Homo-oligomer: A and B are copies of this chain.
Amino acid sequence: MVKQAIAWAESQRQVHLEQLKTLLSIPSVSTQVEHTSDIVRTANWLADHMRAIGLNEVSVQPTDRHPVVYGEWVQDSDAPTVLIYGHYDVQPAEPLALWDTPPFSPTVKNGNIYARGAADDKGQLFIHLKALEALFETAGRPPVNVKLLIEGEEEIGSPSLDKFVVDHQDMLSADISIISDSHILDVDKPALLYGLRGMCYMEIELQGPKQDLHSGSFGGAIHNPAQVLCQIVSALKDDQGRITIPGFYDRVLPLSDAERTALASVPFSEAQFRQEAGVRKTWGEAGYTVREQISARPTLDVNGLVSGYTGEGGKTIIPAWARAKVSMRLVADQDPEEIQQLFTQHVESLTPDTVELTLHNWGLAKPALIDRDIPEMQAAARAYERGFDAQPVFIREGGSIPVVTLLKETLGLDTILMGFGLPDDNIHGPNEKLHLENFYRGIETVIYFLDEYAQT
């Protein structure tokens, strides 16, 4: 059944491109209230399209803010079920002046389609609809059961998704989930993302004197909260780049030789990394490569500091308070709540009784590590090989995709992160694009995946 589906998809490329343009032309910006009706229009357009291609139980389900679009084909009790996740909302397009073509007038140029949402994520989620349509059109069905969960709040932090998933566990139950909302390395270098870092984001607040004091009158006998803050922050890391919070590394899974070798084989240029960052040299945890430091190892960064007088020139005060935002990227099997506790204990132990400490938490996310050897991952690898004529590499990323953890925690699902973007797609920036070759190969790769998965 695959051959005909692939051939049909190829024959329909122009049609699919026009449909994609229609989808991309609706400005479904989730954070701007003036686009609320566009959000609704996009959800309805997707639901209509899903019904048209053959999905069942299609519905636009309200949440506290933007609706979820759901659809399924679940008619083969012998076959496994795939839950496909995507999001139809997009980032704001501003600053508009930096776009070469209008963000919501999709434009094909140099083999790319330019529009806000082309890669993140409307274009990539549409790949799944087109793959399913090809299978419905040629075989009357996909080779496995499928469910689609498409939200409209990803770019604002998915405030309604947790509740929605918890409230619809039966409806969403599946054997594996698949998300296309990431990128491969290059058009002929497919990649499967199997590791994402988690997060524990803290803020340290120290209160010293009740108000800013004149350093002439008080300087010398007051413990300066900005000075204390610097002492605490500097005591969080040693000169080898290791985090000094007791117990911090206890649950970190060691990198096996095999994994280190595999990671080392992923094309990566340190010179390019330095250039993108704009630094003369890198600096990180001793004993690990840059690639490992930014994806497979936990880290700690100061994200912000503020205290006292920050304007031009000098002001001779002892600040009343000082604050530092400190976030930690976590890897499997670190537990963000435990890390928050260890961080809290350590900072408390470092804080003298001359100042008052308050800690805030600004976010926790579990790290994700998908076993590369599970059959679904292997099926995805073979699908990429067939779709892109090249074996995919396995990569880990330094960031987080919270829905991966949500699906694991609530529904027990591992997620295959099957991206079809490219690193230079400018997601969130001006002139966002999707490479059309990746769009067409993506449709084929999803068809291959469903086929490969049916055979596992």
Contacts and interface: CB of A to CB of B under 8 A. Distances in A.
Interface stretch (A11-19, A116-124, A395-403): A395-403
A315 B322 CA distance: 18
B318 A230 contact: no
Contacts of A285: 220
Given A283-B222, A352-B283, A229 B230 contact: yes
B398 A218 contact: yes
Nearest to A211: B278
Interface stretch (A97-105, A125-133, A298-306, A412-420): A298-306
A227 B234 contact: yes
A16 B428 CA distance: 73
B199 A316 contact: yes
**Copies of the chain in the assembly:** 2
A197 B316 CA distance: 13
A226 interface: yes
B354 A302 contact: no
A307 B309 contact: no
A237 to B, nearest CB: 6
Contact of A277 (B203, B222, B303): B222
Given A305-B306, A305-B322, A284 B221 contact: yes
Contacts of A317: 303-304
Given A218-B398, A233-B227, A283-B354, A302 B313 contact: no
Interface in A298-353: 299, 301-310, 313-320, 322-325, 327, 329, 352-353
Given A303-B309, A314-B363, A352-B283, A277 B218 contact: yes
Q: Which of A211, A216, A282: most chain B CB closer than 10 A?
A: A216
A214 B310 contact: no
B314 A220 contact: no
Q: Which one of A209, A279, A284, A318 has the greatest number of beta carbons of chain B within 10 Å?
A: A279
Given A313-B362, A354-B281, A363-B314, A215 B329 contact: yes
Interface of A: 197, 199, 201, 203, 208-211, 213-224, 226-227, 229-231, 233-237, 273, 277-285, 290, 293-295, 297, 299, 301-310, 313-320, 322-325, 327, 329, 352-354, 362-363, 397-400
Given A201-B316, A305-B307, 7 more contacts: A210-B277, A217-B398, A222-B279, A304-B309, A304-B315, A305-B306, A306-B310
